[in-house]
Every structure is written in C-alpha cells, then in structure tokens.
A and B are shown apart, each in its own frame.
Chain A
Amino acid sequence: MGFFKDFFHKDQRADRRISDESQEPKQPSTRNLSNNIDYILNALKRTEDLKVRILKKGDAALLYIEPLVDQDKVQMNIFNPIEIGRVDSIHDIPSAKETTNLEEAVNSLLRGHAVYLEDENRRVSQFSVTSVFNRSVEEPANEKVVRGSHDGFVENIMVNINLVRKRIEHRDLKVKFFKVGKKTNTNVAILYMEGLADPEVVLKMEERLEAIDSDKVQSPGYVEEFVEDSAFSPFPQMLNTERPDRVVANLMEGRVALFSEGSPTSLIAPATFFMFYQAPDDYNTRWYTGTFVRLIRLASFLIAVGLPALYIAIVSFHFEVIPDDLITPVKSSINEIAYPPVVEALVMVIIIELIREAGIRLPSPVGQTIGIVGGLVIGDAVVRAGLISNIMVIVIALTAISSFVVPSNELSTTLRLLTFPLICLSATLGFVGLIFGFLFIAVHLTKLESFGVPYFAPVAPLRLKDLKDTFVRFPIFMMKNRPKDAHPMDYKAIGESREWKKNEQSKKS
C-alpha cells in the first residue's frame, strides 16, 4: 500500500509541476498598439487605477498601475534620459527589460512596473518604478532587549534579508524564494547556511512549502500551520522572532529561517522547547546573570503551568501539606469564600485574560487605565466582596506574571491555555491529577517533533553536552560545539579562543 501511495503522490507532484509551467500563458504582442493596450486592459479587468499615458501623439503609450508606482521614479528612469537626450527612444533606455509576451507585461504591471508600448512595434519595455513604503528597522516592541542590537525586521522581505546578510558576510548563506498562495502570490524565502543546515530539514521545508495549495498566504502564522509537524499540538513548533540577531544565531546553529513578504516575523525551524526560553539578552550579560535569568525563566514555566493547580490541589485535598504556622492564615482566608477553589481560580484566570485581551487592542493610555482598573480595582474589590480569597489573587497574579516571562509570545499563550486542564485535573484528583497532567505534558513534549528533530532536546533525548546552553548558560568560549538537536553538518563552532591566556602566563614565567 505504501508503495502505491508514494507512487500516486509522486505522480501528483509531477503533474503539478507540469501544469505550473503550462499555466504561464503566452500572449504574443501584436504590432497594433490599441490591440495590445486592449488586451492588457482586459487582462486587468479594466481596473480604473491602471493609468494609460498616451505619448508621441498617440503612437506610444506608457502603462502603469498608479498606486504601485513612484512618480519620481517614472520621471527619473523614463523621461529624464530622453529629456537629457541621451537616448532617442524609450525603447533604447538600457534599464528596460524587454519582452514580446503581453502576459508577462501584465504580471510586471502588478509588480509595480511601468510598461511602454509603441505602435508598429512588438517590443514591450518594462521599467521597475515600484514605490516602496518601509518603516524604519526599529526594535520590535514584543522582543525588546536591554543590551544588544536594537533593529528589527520590517514588512519588506528584501530589507529583512539585507539585515541578515549584513550580519553573515559569508558565501554559504543561501536564500531560496518561493511563490506561495495562488491568488496573493506571496514571496516566501527560506534562508540557511549551506553546509551547516541539515539538507534533510531544508528538503522537508521545501517540500512542505511547495505542497501549500491555498489562495492566500497572509502571514508566517499562516505558513506555520501548513508546514509544522503536529498542527494539533498546543506547543509552537517553529520559533517566531522579529530580531535579526536571533535569526542569525539560529542560522549559525544550522537551522532554517523562513521569511514572508508583508510580515516582520520570521519563522525558525527546527525549533526545540528550550529555544523559546533563550533570549538574546542572555548572551549579552555576564554568564552568571545569564544563567540566573534563564533559571528564573524556566521556573516561570513551572509556575505558569502548575501553580494554580498545585494551590487548588493543596487547599481542596491536601491541607496537611501546609506547615502548621501557615494553616491558620490560609484557612481563615478561604473560609469566608462561598465558592470552591476551582471556581475562584477559573474566575480569576478569566478576569486576567479579559484584561490582557482588552489591553492589547486599545491605545496605550487607555490600555494602562484598563490595567489599573482591572488589576487594582477588581483585584481589591473582589477580595473585599468575599468572592475570591486573597491568596488566590496572589496565586493567579503570580501565574499571569510568570506566563509573560517567556521570551516568546507564542509559548506564553500556550502556557496560559495549559493551566486550565491542570486546574481541572487537580480539582478532581488532587496531587494525583496534577501528576497525571504533568505526565501528559511531559510525554507530549517528548513525542513532539519539529521537522524530524525531537522537540524536547537536549533533555529527551538526553545530551549532557548541550545542557550547557539549556538550563544554564556557560561562558561562550566553553560552548565549543553547536547543539546537536538541529543536526548541523559541522559541529565545531568555536576553537581555542583563549589561548592568549596561556601565552601571557608563559611570558610572565
């Protein structure tokens, strides 16, 4: 059966490629100017922003889609050379790209080019006069760092690749472009270091990108759902980032980065769970600090996922776990509350989610107000009203803060979602339920794969060497090998870089 499946799949793929080629229709231009213009107008459904400028008293025409075109560029690239008198005809301008295929002209019009046609001439000249609107490469708001580079990706794929190339001046950096989305024709690029990235991963990425058969692709998040391994897992299997330095670091570990036109987010695959907990800041501070911060972050994972569940398990099943001195305050704060702890927790978690969701879309002054009203006023009032115990408020607030500690927004949402099943489990079975919940998560993480690479590496499968950059951050010169999880072709990353120390010592003696 497997053989047949493969057989048919291959067939299909081959078919698609052939049909792709044949889909590029050819329409030879005619010698008649008005026929040509008519064809183009019809091809573009007589859209009214298509501007036809009649030149040479009706013997020639310049066509372009007005919103896509920069008027200054039109003036400079097309009319200036003629006005200066350097060339006699627009057809002779050297920067022109020529064709006799009207279909190609239509496509280039859509790309923002201007098309020049002449009567009694089949030549079609195309000029790149696209207007580009870029914001500056400022630091992404959701991935700020204290030290380190402060630029970020923008919506233009070329600028993004430029930012990466500027950081890796090496011939091995390879870019591959794909057109994804049948109607939107979105430019998607994958970047990797040839000879470093695992060819199998690259191949997988290419295959999956080519397999996308969708009318539109609007963002990397869209692409992500098409290409990731387990779409039904709550955990993100590709790292989202808007930081060039993060992309570069991952490329140098042998991973593949994916960009798409119109979005500042790049996707990195294969990703592991612990990658989401590494921030560029870790490598810019002293390594003690980096280690400490990272440990705090990983602790935040446990707190965000497990703290409310643990608290509920303790107060509803295992009160005896609380030490004697603490029993009275805890008990007295809970006694007043009418609802069981689960309801309290769920209500509080939902309130926090509401505040968060409301805060995102609002302009920042209003967002702050919402934060104050939500956080302080509701928090205080809800305790005074006797709806929720003050310890529960502490627990949930701590949980919410912890969930925002993760450097990746994707994982942060996942964590907040995972709290709910754990709360339910611990409310029904106490510690036993909690353990089962954590077991499920652990098993799931171990099973998960990102592009054929185990997701929970280097903990499962265990690789002690790679733990240097997982829970702790060793000094950089000690991390001589690349992590194994991305299957880099070349493990050695750093050679002897502190030889000078020995030399100095020998000089002294």
Chain B
Amino acid sequence: MSSQKNLKLTNRQYFFLIIQTQIGVGILALPFDLHTAAKQDGWISLVLSGVLIIILMVFYWLLAKKYPDKDYFLLQQYVLSKWVGKAVTLFYIVYFAGVGVLILLLYGRMISIWVLPNTPFWILSMMMVAVCMYIVCCDLVVMARLYTMFSAFLIFLVGLILYSVKDSRLFYLLPVASDGWGGILAGIDKGIISFLGFIVALVIYAKVEGEPKQKLKTIIFAQITVLLFYLSIVLVTFTFFSTKEIALVSEPVLYMLKSYQFPIVARIDLFFISIWMVFVATSFSTYLYLAGLGITRVFNKKHSPVIVLIVGLSFYFLSLFIGFNLVKLDQFSSYIVKGGYIFSMGIPLLVLFISLFRNRPKKESAT
C-alpha cells in the first residue's frame, strides 16, 4: 500500500467525498420534516438554506485557504494555540461521535420499521460499524475512490424518484407563502440539518490538490448538487402527496415508491432503501474518519487501524445505549442538531475571526 500513502485527493474525489457525506440518513424523512415546519413552502426553505450553506462555504474557504497545508484540527492548534486547539478538537471528536451515533440510530430505526422488524438493534448496528471500520481503516484516498464509485448509485436514486414525476400535481405546491414567512424561516432550520456534513469540506481541504479557486468551485458545486438532489426529492414528494397526506407519512419517499408496482419487481421501496444504506455507510464512515483524524491530531499519533477500531467500537457501544428508544432518540437528535450549529458554523467562523489577527505561517510565504 506504500504507493498510495500521502497521495492527495483530486478535485473530483473531493467533490464526491463531500456529497457522499452530506447525502445520507436524512433523505428519507427530509420532505416530512420540511413539511411539518413550512407546509407546502418547504422547498423554499430548502433553497434558502442551500444558499446560506453556500455563503458559509465561502467563509470556510477563506479560512482553509489561509493555511493550505494544515487540516482543520492542526489549523485550530495553530490559530487557537496548541492546548486550546486540542481541547476544541476533543469537543469536535465528541460531536462527530454524536453524529455518528445518531446516524446509526436513525438507520437502525428505519431498517427496523421498513425491512427487518424483528432484528435487534445491536446486530444492525454491528454490521454497519464493521463495514465502515473496514472502509476507514485505510487511506483517505481509498475512501474517496470508493465514494466516487458509489456515487453511481445516485443515478439510480434520482431515476427512481423521477419516475414518480408522472403522477405529480404541481398545484399541491400552491398557495405559495400563504402562511407568511414565519413557517419558511422555521423550515430553514430543518433544511440546514439536512446539509450537515459539509464540515468535511473544511477538515480535509488541505488533503486536496489543486488551486484554491478550483477547490472553492468544487465545494460550491458539491453544495449545488446536494441542493438539487434534495430539491428533486422534496418537489416530487410534495407534488405527489397532497398537503394533508404528507403530514401522515413520515417517510414520504418510501411511501411514494411503495405505491408503484413494476412488472418485474414489486415494492421498489425495498430496493431504494437498500441503495440508501450505501449512502448511510458512506456518511457514517466519514464521521468515523473525522473522529479518528481528530484523535490522531490530539494525541499526535499516526492514522492506524487500531485508532479506527477504538473509535468504531466506541461508536458502536454508545449507540447501544439508546437503541430503538424513541424518546431518547428524539432528545439526542435535538442535542446533535444544536451541536451542528455550534460546530459547523459557530466555531469555524470564530476561528476565522481569530485568524484575522494572526499572521500567516512563515513557511507558506516561502514556498
């Protein structure tokens, strides 16, 4: 494996790494969440939140561009001084662990509702953690290659979703903004949650080769792709189900697909959910990787399978504490969402702010 070590990612791999991380558990319930907040105007909220994210990405880029050879954790150690930076990194690890566990929980719940009602959580969780540990225990480049390959499945998902366009009724989207902008603004919150995972763009920025401008293009293009993908899901489900119906179906995408029967296969929702699992695995592995990377930075270790094993197992055991318990799950997810704002927006912007008062590291100016 020696020749692959220290290979930098190409822009294409960077692109797919970002979208594979962002597109994940959320897609099944996204239309429902948006709808509860903003009714039929949910798609406007989604677009607005997408725009917000793109603006945020520019700030990310400004920060990462300043220190082109430091990944986010090293950058924190540089900007916030060594020990404060390490402490913040520790919090990040906790946050990533939280997100990872949340992904596991949501995935377990979805599988248990839709596919395997009798299988205990620990088995589903164990399988997922095992596969993802296997993905993460080698280099980032290999992960990126894998994600690029898996992105072919995106075409399947889009194809399946677009199949339902023939039954959509656009008038379900009317009236636009009838309840005022309050609901739409509330929907932005839900929209941003679905984009969470964009932090990966910042963390691994330094591991990508290419000009900063090109990278910015890649990041923004990735966000636009994710936005378009989400938008297609939301629009199709919003126009497929009427406003009243959608309040009743918690996983609109699956219910929509369930209603179709092809001559060769019935129940394509099962195939959809199977492919969806691949996306869950990629998002989860990214968080596994990020947490592992954080640990290597805090303890100055090298990326090794042992760290991945430790991180993966701790993710696994943490997820067992909650399992299928819905009350705890909701509570937990609300914490993680709040954490998302702090860790994906608050801290990076703060670091950017502080970095304005810091000189650029001298090494870069020389090279």
Q: Which residues of A contact B (CB under 8 A)?
A: 200, 317-318, 320-324, 429-436, 439-440, 442-444, 446-447, 449, 452-454, 456, 459-462
| Bound-state Cα–Cα, A461 to B281, Å | 19
| Bound-state Cα–Cα, A127 to B149, Å | 61
For B135, the closest partner residue in chain A by CB is: A443
Interface of chain B, main secondary structure: helix
CB-CB under 8 A from A459, the residues of chain B are 149
B residues 89-138 in Cβ contact with A at 8 Å: 111, 115-116, 119, 123-124, 127-128, 130-131, 134-135, 138
Q: A321-B265, A321-B266, A432-B277 are in contact. Are A460 and B149 (CB under 8 A)?
A: yes
| Bound-state Cα–Cα, A436 to B145, Å | 18
CB-CB under 8 A from B261, the residues of chain A are 323-324
Q: A443-B134, A443-B135, A446-B145 are in contact. Are A433 and B262 (CB under 8 A)?
A: no
Cβ contact within 8 Å between A440 and B134? yes
Q: A459-B149, A460-B149 are in contact. Are A429 and B266 (CB under 8 A)?
A: no
Interface of chain A, main secondary structure: helix
| Bound-state Cα–Cα, A429 to B278, Å | 15
CB-CB under 8 A from A317, the residues of chain B are 115-116
B217 an interface residue at 8 Å Cβ cutoff?
no
Cβ contact within 8 Å between B2 and A462? no
CB-CB under 8 A from A432, the residues of chain B are 111, 115-116, 119, 124, 127, 274, 277
Cβ contact within 8 Å between A323 and B263? yes
For B151, the closest partner residue in chain A by CB is: A462
| Bound-state Cα–Cα, A456 to B124, Å | 28
CB-CB under 8 A from B145, the residues of chain A are 446, 454, 456, 460-462
Give 1 or 0 for each of B232-247: 1 = CB within 8 Å of chain A CB: 0000000000000000
CB-CB under 8 A from B350, the residues of chain A are none
B148 contact from A447, A452, A461, Cβ within 8 A: A461
| Bound-state Cα–Cα, A479 to B131, Å | 37
B119 contact from A323, A324, A429, Cβ within 8 A: A429
Minimum CB–CB distance for B308 against chain A, Å: 13
B127 contact from A429, A443, A444, A447, Cβ within 8 A: A429
CB-CB under 8 A from B273, the residues of chain A are 431
Cβ contact within 8 Å between B270 and A431? yes
Cβ contact within 8 Å between B274 and A431? yes
For B263, the closest partner residue in chain A by CB is: A323
| Bound-state Cα–Cα, A325 to B352, Å | 62
| Bound-state Cα–Cα, A430 to B114, Å | 12
Q: A321-B267, A446-B146, A446-B149 are in contact. Are A431 and B131 (CB under 8 A)?
A: no
Contacts beyond the supplied A322-B265, A432-B116: 19 A-B pairs with Cβ under 8 Å: A200-B3, A320-B267, A320-B270, A321-B271, A323-B261, A323-B263, A431-B273, A432-B124, A432-B127, A433-B127, A436-B128, A443-B131, A443-B134, A446-B142, A446-B145, A452-B2, A454-B145, A460-B146, A461-B145
Cβ contact within 8 Å between A447 and B142? yes
Cβ contact within 8 Å between A447 and B138? yes
| Bound-state Cα–Cα, A439 to B128, Å | 10
Q: A447-B138, A452-B3 are in contact. Are A439 and B131 (CB under 8 A)?
A: yes
| Bound-state Cα–Cα, A434 to B142, Å | 22
Instruction: List 28 A–B pairs whose Cβ atoms lie within 8 Å, in order of A's numbering.
Output: A200-B3, A318-B115, A318-B267, A320-B266, A321-B271, A323-B262, A323-B264, A323-B266, A324-B266, A432-B116, A432-B119, A432-B124, A432-B277, A434-B274, A435-B278, A436-B277, A439-B278, A439-B281, A442-B149, A442-B150, A447-B138, A449-B1, A454-B145, A456-B149, A459-B149, A460-B146, A461-B148, A462-B12
B334 an interface residue at 8 Å Cβ cutoff?
no
B259 an interface residue at 8 Å Cβ cutoff?
no
- Give the one of A431, A433, A452, A454 with max B CB within 10 A: A431
- Give the one of A444, A456, A461 with max B CB within 10 A: A461
Give 1 or 0 for each of B255-290: 1 = CB within 8 Å of chain A CB: 000000111111100110110011001000000000
B4 an interface residue at 8 Å Cβ cutoff?
yes
| Bound-state Cα–Cα, A453 to B7, Å | 13
CB-CB under 8 A from A435, the residues of chain B are 274, 277-278
Minimum CB–CB distance for A474 against chain B, Å: 20
| Bound-state Cα–Cα, A440 to B128, Å | 11
Minimum CB–CB distance for A120 against chain B, Å: 61
CB-CB under 8 A from B1, the residues of chain A are 449
Which A-B residue pairs are the 5 nearest by beta carbons? A452-B3, A460-B145, A460-B149, A461-B145, A446-B146
| Bound-state Cα–Cα, A452 to B1, Å | 6
| Bound-state Cα–Cα, A461 to B4, Å | 11
Cβ contact within 8 Å between A322 and B266? yes
| Bound-state Cα–Cα, A95 to B194, Å | 84
CB-CB under 8 A from A321, the residues of chain B are 265-267, 270-271
Cβ contact within 8 Å between B131 and A323? no
B residues 142-175 in Cβ contact with A at 8 Å: 142, 145-146, 148-150
CB-CB under 8 A from B134, the residues of chain A are 440, 443-444
Cβ contact within 8 Å between A442 and B274? no
For B266, the closest partner residue in chain A by CB is: A323
| Bound-state Cα–Cα, A318 to B115, Å | 8
Minimum CB–CB distance for B236 against chain A, Å: 22
Minimum CB–CB distance for A14 against chain B, Å: 22
Minimum CB–CB distance for A312 against chain B, Å: 15
| Bound-state Cα–Cα, A440 to B285, Å | 13
Minimum CB–CB distance for B89 against chain A, Å: 27
For B7, the closest partner residue in chain A by CB is: A461
Minimum CB–CB distance for A238 against chain B, Å: 17
Cβ contact within 8 Å between A462 and B274? no
CB-CB under 8 A from B3, the residues of chain A are 200, 449, 452-453
Cβ contact within 8 Å between B281 and A318? no
Cβ contact within 8 Å between A429 and B12? no
CB-CB under 8 A from B135, the residues of chain A are 443
| Bound-state Cα–Cα, A284 to B48, Å | 56
Q: A321-B267, A322-B266 are in contact. Are A436 and B148 (CB under 8 A)?
A: no
Minimum CB–CB distance for A310 against chain B, Å: 11
Give 1 or 0 for each of B6-29: 1 = CB within 8 Å of chain A CB: 000000110000000000000000
| Bound-state Cα–Cα, A318 to B183, Å | 40
| Bound-state Cα–Cα, A431 to B110, Å | 14
| Bound-state Cα–Cα, A435 to B127, Å | 10
| Bound-state Cα–Cα, A444 to B142, Å | 10
Cβ contact within 8 Å between A443 and B146? yes
Minimum CB–CB distance for B140 against chain A, Å: 12
